[in-house]
A and B are shown apart, each in its own frame.
Chain A
């Protein structure tokens, strides 16, 4: 999995000299944070993404060495019911923005590999549709962070 991602990243770098750079090259990440929940409960990750490229970028997934499982999820409301489901991707329009934010898209982080506490930084690799990746440090915040 990881090897494949690296191979794709390498391919992406090779292609960078061509017409378009890789999607990840144009995406900037801001305010990346994790809402930490007690015990072994899953946590959620949030980040603001800005794409300064001429082409849309598509976030397709993420991985972290600090969590055994990292999935792109989306919370939604239907008829007064709140529900959460896996999401395929999140598009960031050319010269536009998209956000993983509470109550919407988020990273679902399960089975932490180490004991985390507020103030820690969790390394997360965001993966884009063309295989390119972006390394982002997510700041760990307490459960009741607003």
Chain B
């Protein structure tokens, strides 16, 4: 789980580039899973938590943490966002170059206003994104993530299950790393620190 199938390939690639005397960052000892070249660049057209239509280009220059969730998720989504908040706090000032993009897979209930209060309760660098079901699904599919919605027995109306991975993008919008729940705050912080330091992303 911790070192998925991509890891050996990434290591090979890193070794090859090292031999070639290449100074590229593929030689960086990432602690998360490198997805470089395996996932497309960030692209979307959604609505942010202030109600403004935004695209991936609006976040160029920032290191991005993309996570799919929904606000009526009181356990796992807050756990993930609280962890990311702790990671950013530990990174200190350099973390100002990071944005957490919390994309709702429950746009019917997650209006920009609800999302705004939700993400701000975790971190000032977190942005809530919602939009039409079609636009959200396009982004979900782009990263081979998924979600389902089923009627619930309780008061919540329905329950949502969603991919638990965090996708990390560099300042140029290239997909770089994948963090999954077994990854620790220290591992995420380590790799984020390295990625933030790469001022001119290739």
Smallest CB gap from A78: residue in B: B161
**Interface residue? B82 (CB, 8 A):** yes
**Residues of chain B with a CB closer than 8 A to A102's CB:** 75-76, 78-79
**Residues of chain A with a CB closer than 8 A to B122's CB:** 143-144
One digit per residue, 1 when the CB lies within 8 angstroms of any chain B CB and 0 when it does not, for chain A 25-55 equals: 0000000000101110111100000000000
Inter-chain contact A81/B75, CB cutoff 8 Å:
no
With A38-B118, A81-B146 in contact, is A111–B74 under 8 Å at CB?
no
Instruction: Give, as a whole number of angstroms, the nearest-CB distance from A144 to chain B.
Output: 5
Q: How far is the CA of A80 from the CA of B178 in the complex (A)?
A: 12
**Interface residue? B43 (CB, 8 A):** no
With A38-B118, A39-B117, A142-B121 in contact, is A84–B76 under 8 Å at CB?
yes
Inter-chain contact B72/A41, CB cutoff 8 Å:
yes
* Interface-side segment among B5-13, B21-29, B152-160, B192-200: B152-160
Main secondary structure of the interface of A (DSSP, over half): strand
With A39-B117, A81-B161 in contact, is A44–B82 under 8 Å at CB?
no
**Interface residue? A119 (CB, 8 A):** no
Inter-chain contact B155/A41, CB cutoff 8 Å:
no
One digit per residue, 1 when the CB lies within 8 angstroms of any chain B CB and 0 when it does not, for chain A 70-85 equals: 0101010110111111
**Residues of chain A with a CB closer than 8 A to B118's CB:** 37-39, 41, 143
For residues 49 through 105 of chain A, which have their beta carbon under 8 Å from a beta carbon of chain B? 68-69, 71, 73, 75, 77-78, 80-86, 102-103
Instruction: Give, as a whole number of angstroms, the nearest-CB distance from A88 to chain B.
Output: 12
Inter-chain contact A44/B181, CB cutoff 8 Å:
no
A-B residue pairs in contact (CB < 8 Å), sample of 10: A39-B114, A41-B71, A42-B72, A42-B74, A80-B164, A82-B76, A84-B159, A86-B152, A110-B154, A143-B121
Interface size class of A (residues with CB under 8 A): 20 to 34
Q: In the complex, how many residues of chain B place their beta carbon closer than 8 angstroms to a beta carbon of chain A? A: 36
**Interface residue? B186 (CB, 8 A):** no
Instruction: Give, as a whole number of angstroms, the nearest-CB distance from B107 to chain A.
Output: 16
CB contact between A86 and one of B75, B153, B181 (< 8 Å): that residue: B153
With A84-B159, A144-B85, A146-B83 in contact, is A38–B121 under 8 Å at CB?
yes
**Interface residue? B16 (CB, 8 A):** no
Smallest CB gap from B114: residue in A: A39
**Interface residue? B165 (CB, 8 A):** yes
CB contact between B76 and one of A71, A103, A110, A143 (< 8 Å): that residue: A103
Q: How far is the CA of A35 from the CA of B121 in the complex (A)?
A: 11
Apart from A84-B161, A146-B83, what 8 extra A-B contacts exist at CB < 8 Å?
A37-B121, A84-B76, A103-B181, A106-B74, A108-B75, A110-B155, A143-B82, A143-B121
